[in-house]
Amino acid sequence: MTAHGRVTLVLGGARSGKSGFAERLAVETGLQRHYVATGQAYDDEMRQRIARHQVDRGDGWTTHEVPLHLTPHLQQIRDSGCVILVDCLTLWVTNLMMADADVDSAGLALVDSLADHQGSLILVSNEVGLGIVPDNRMAREFRDHAGRLHQRIAAVADEVYFVAAGLPLKMKG
């Protein structure tokens, strides 16, 4: 483990297996586990998706619902004796955009905080830059915000994985 803790970024497409892979990484640490959920249930489908994630995850997790103020919350719960899994950064970016927040500043604050993070931190996010160019401004801005955030986190992360078809590819570390 480095002096600042261990930061892992797990990227992948929708239903790629990235969350399950990240959860297995967290369990393998043997540390106390915290799950920071950024999603918000605005409709029945999302409520069902969240419930499915909770069942799949099982017991042994302390869950935190943090749709907007991710960095301050991580600073409150960081501890060298725990692992924190954040799922997912793209939902966090969406929440920030919908709240008319400064997404780039929030992302930079998160990246800056990683240098001082204690313990293990696993960040999960959807890779959204592999498809066609979106046809509307908001979707293009979302894709660009997510891409910049991923690059910044990957630059400082100890490990980076890309998951496709349930198979993790280690890209860094």
Instruction: List Cβ neighbours of 10 (8 Å cut-off, separation of 6 or more).
Output: 18, 21, 22, 25, 122, 123, 124, 125, 160, 161, 163, 168
Q: Which of 4, 34, 53, 117 is catalytic?
A: 53
Assess contact for 21 and 125: CB atoms under 8 A. no
Residue 53 bears catalytic tag: yes
Residue 73's Cβ-count burial label (10 Å; 0-12, 13-18, 19+) is middle
Would you name the residues annotated as active-site residues? 53
